[in-house]
């Protein structure tokens, strides 16, 4: 087995590098915290030299925020609908044939993504989801994408994870949001309310319930996470019984799977890394020129 | 004209003291920033001495967060429905007949207020609103109260102002939220979207619109304020043509009045200070023992 391609999922906070062979098998992978936000623009060439020193003098393809204004080079977004063939044909070449950045996607309704498109489309290409499916990728910014015929048709992003972090760090609720978040009774109560309720009021009532002794403060974090995830899932307008393919780590995946079930959908868990590798291998095969 | 009562609206950040005569006329008023959050518990007695040194050796009645756990003495909430007579009968006496704290209100659905009840009920008692009315008091935490027969029947609080401040100070949107907020076209576009849209997604799209050049970054703050206020107003479920009595400073009052109009209601502006004085005078008259 010989490596033929170095692929990097290069996000705001973290990056993960893969050494792949011609069949798309992962020969090695390493994750570190050298995300875009810690990286001065001038440092990228040295990072590429280091990657090739580690894995061999191979082509390198980069996806994610590395192609944003705050990354290495700002690469224009591709408009939906778009699939892996369109992404491969629109690679931004730093060095022709040798080093490329994957463009992000934009939804005409006014939304953007960089990096998630590789996982979402890769999941379908690998047969982990049908070609036409609703996919959910929870995180700081939760992405919801509708695929049609193997292309991203439209998508929306919810500020869910960031809102929770803001409330926990800086809000009047902060002192109540120190407990653990789990798929427990308070979480499910929060989801129920979040699916049907009114976010700005429900959030204030987290504090009120703690002050009034209606809910133990230790349960407030789980309840609030449920509220926000319920609000998020409500926005996806899941049809009754509709499968929702969830790409997430086990903890966040559990929480979203529960909320999807409570919203009437059928969650199906997908491994994010396998989806990324599938997507990046296929778009590299479709590269132009 | 001789002063007979010192009344203080003592909030988290600010306080305003009034010298009132027997007819409820304001003989003097002073505002400062000695709110509850800056005040150690041990300092309250000295503050009372200072108030009496300024205005005379008169009874003092205190309303607001001064009666919260983080204030001087934690005073139990009164349950809705409640009016000025019930508040007067439930005063917490620091010194009998001489120094009292007004209890806050709690809504059985799980909400709390301290201080706003005096303004809301005072507005109706002064004839500034009917006895049965929907009142809105915007701020860091926006209060919506339904009065029936001169009592607060139920109320809800929305975290609107605090969410805007969090987003402006700490979020990924912060760099885009530096412009002025006014009742302008971007604000109205935000309200329209907030009334019908999905908050967590709409917030993410503020950034997307700026990145994509779909909206000038200078308009983002006004638009985002509109989104949050629209979301807030949508939660109040205003009937078509229903009057909504808005107690707020001119700037915030303009913004909420616009959003109420766009939601199909009829905004009526009320002077907050006149409402407070009306409420505190009447509940003092109803004091027990």
How does DSSP assign B263-284, residue by residue? TT-EEEEE-HHHHHHHHHHHHH
> Which residues of B fall within a CB distance of 8 Å from A205?
109-111, 157
pLDDT digits (tens, 9 = 90+) for B93-146: 999 999 999 999 999 999 999 999 999 999 999 999 999 999 999 999 999 999
* Measured distance CA(A159)–CA(B164) in Å, rounded: 14
Considering only CB atoms, A231 lies closest to which of B172, B200, B212, namely B200
Check residue A1 and give its pLDDT.
62
> Which residues of A fall within a CB distance of 8 Å from B168?
none
- Kindly indicate the confidence band of residue A25, based on its pLDDT and cuts at 50, 70 and 90: very high
Cα of A75 vs its chain's centroid, Å: 19
The answer to whether the CB of B199 falls within 8 A of the CB of A200 is yes
Considering only CB atoms, B203 lies closest to which of A159, A198, A209, namely A159
Check residue A116 and give its pLDDT.
96
Check residue B172 and give its pLDDT.
87
Q: What is the mean pLDDT of residues A125-152?
A: 96
Q: Which DSSP category does B64 fall into? A: E
Low-confidence ranges of chain B (pLDDT < 50): none
Contact A157 B234 (CB under 8 A): no
Q: Which of residues 4-43 of B touch A (CB under 8 A)?
A: none
The domain defined by A3-107 carries CATH number 3.40.50.2300: no
Strand partners, B134: B146, B244
Q: Which of residues 85-144 of B touch A (CB under 8 A)?
A: 106, 109-112, 141-142
The answer to whether the CB of B128 falls within 8 A of the CB of B19 is no
Check residue B197 and give its pLDDT.
83
Q: What is the mean pLDDT of residues A241-259?
A: 95
Check residue B196 and give its pLDDT.
86
> Which residues of A fall within a CB distance of 8 Å from B231?
198-200
Q: Kindly report, as residue ranges, where domains of CATH 3.30.420.310 are found in chain B.
A: 158-270
| Token pair belonging to A29 | 């992978």
* Measured distance CA(B225)–CA(A14) in Å, rounded: 32
Q: What is the mean pLDDT of residues A199-211?
A: 91
Question: Dihedrals φ, ψ of A122, to 5°?
Answer: -65, -35
Considering only CB atoms, A214 lies closest to which of B110, B156, B160, namely B110
The answer to whether the CB of B246 falls within 8 A of the CB of B138 is yes
Question: What CATH number belongs to B3-115+276-285?
Answer: 3.30.420.300
Q: What is the mean pLDDT of residues A115-141?
A: 96
* Measured distance CA(A135)–CA(A120) in Å, rounded: 7
Is A238's pLDDT higher than 70? yes
Does the beta carbon of A281 lie under 8 angstroms from any beta carbon of chain B?
A: no
Provide, rounded to the nearest whole percent, the portion of chain A with pLDDT above 70. 100
B61 by Cβ neighbours in 10 Å (0-12 / 13-18 / 19+) ranks as: buried
Which run of H or of E encompasses A52? helix A44-55
Contact B204 A158 (CB under 8 A): yes
> Which residues of A fall within a CB distance of 8 Å from B199?
199-200, 231
Considering only CB atoms, A200 lies closest to which of B69, B111, B163, namely B163
Contact A159 B232 (CB under 8 A): no
Multiple choice CATH, B158-270, 3.30.300.30, 3.30.420.310, 3.40.190.10, 3.20.10.10: 3.30.420.310
Cβ-Cβ contacts under 8 Å between A and B: the total is 114
Q: Kindly report, as residue ranges, where domains of CATH 3.30.420.300 are found in chain A.
A: 3-107
Alpha helices in B76-174 (DSSP H): 84-89, 116-125, 160-170
pLDDT digits (tens, 9 = 90+) for A154-187: 999 999 999 999 999 999 899 899 999 999 999 9
The answer to whether the CB of B61 falls within 8 A of the CB of B284 is yes
Is A211's pLDDT higher than 90? no
**Complex ipTM, two decimals?**
0.89
Q: What is the mean pLDDT of residues A118-138?
A: 96
Does the beta carbon of B2 lie under 8 angstroms from any beta carbon of chain A?
A: no
């Amino acid at each position: 087995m010989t490596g033929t391609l170095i692929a990097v999922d290069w996000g705001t906070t973290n990056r993960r590098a893969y050494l792949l062979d011609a069949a798309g098998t992962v020969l090695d992978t390493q994750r570190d915290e050298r995300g875009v936000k810690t990286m001065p623009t001038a440092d990228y060439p040295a990072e590429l030299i280091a990657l090739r020193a580690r894995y061999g003098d191979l082509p390198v393809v980069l996806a994610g925020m590395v192609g944003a204004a705050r990354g290495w080079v700002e690469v224009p977004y591709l408009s939906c609908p778009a699939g892996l063939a369109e992404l491969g044909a629109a690679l931004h070449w730093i060095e022709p044939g040798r080093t490329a950045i994957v463009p992000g996607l934009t939804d005409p309704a006014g939304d953007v993504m960089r990096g998630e498109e590789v996982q979402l489309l890769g999941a379908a290409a690998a047969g982990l989801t049908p070609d036409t499916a609703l996919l959910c990728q929870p995180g700081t910014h939760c992405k919801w994408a509708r695929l049609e015929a193997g292309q991203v048709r439209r998508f929306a992003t919810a500020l869910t994870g960031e809102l929770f972090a803001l409330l926990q760090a800086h809000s009047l609720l902060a002192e109540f949001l120190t407990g653990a978040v789990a798929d427990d009774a308070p979480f499910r109560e929060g989801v129920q309310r979040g699916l049907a309720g009114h976010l700005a009021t429900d959030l204030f009532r987290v504090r009120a319930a703690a002050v009034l002794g209606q809910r133990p403060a230790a349960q407030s974090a789980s309840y609030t996470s449920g509220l926000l995830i319920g609000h998020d899932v409500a926005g996806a307008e899941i049809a009754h019984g509709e499968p929702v393919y969830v790409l997430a780590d086990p903890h966040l995946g559990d929480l979203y799977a529960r909320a999807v079930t409570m919203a009437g959908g059928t969650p199906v868990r997908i491994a994010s890394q396998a989806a990324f590798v599938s997507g990046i291998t296929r778009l590299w095969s479709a590269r132009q020129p």
